[in-house]
Amino acid sequence: MVQRVVTVGSASGLHARPARLFVKAAAAEPVAVTLTVAGKRPAKAASMLGVLALGALQGTEVTLTAEDGTGGKAAVDRLAALLATDLDAVDDAAVEALLTEAVAPDA
C-alpha cells in the first residue's frame, strides 16, 4: 500500500469546484485511490458523493491510499498535489494545466 497524508488547501475545502476537479483527476488515474479523514469511512477518490461526504474543510488532513505497483505511488503523488492546491484561487486555464499534469503518465 502507498499512503500519503496531505492537508486540504482549497478555501472551500473539498466541496463544489475543488471536489469536482479532484474527482475528475482521480477518475483518470489508472489505479483506484481512496481518501480517509479521521473519524469517517474511506471514500473512493473517483466518487463525487464519497468525496463530498468526507466533509473535508480547508486545513483538514486527508490520507490518500492506493495499491503499490502499477502507478500507485505516482497517482497518490499527483492527487496529493491537487489536494494541497487552493483550487478556488486559480483560474480555469491554471486548473486545466494542473489536471493535465495530474493525469500525465510518468516519463
CATH number assigned to the domain comprising residue 43: 3.30.1340.10
Which residues are part of the catalytic machinery?
A: 15
Task: Identify the pLDDT of residue 39.
Answer: 92
Whether pTM > 0.75 for this model: the answer is yes
Number of domains in the chain: 1
Q: What SS3 class is residue 55?
A: coil
Q: Looking at residue 18, what is its pLDDT?
A: 93
Residue 104: per-residue pLDDT: 59
Supply the pLDDT for residue 70: 82
Task: Supply the pLDDT for residue 97.
Answer: 79
CB neighbours of residue 33 within 10 Å: 24
Query: Which residues in the chain land under pLDDT 70?
Result: 101-107
Q: Which residue segment(s) compose the domain that 76 sits in?
A: 2-103
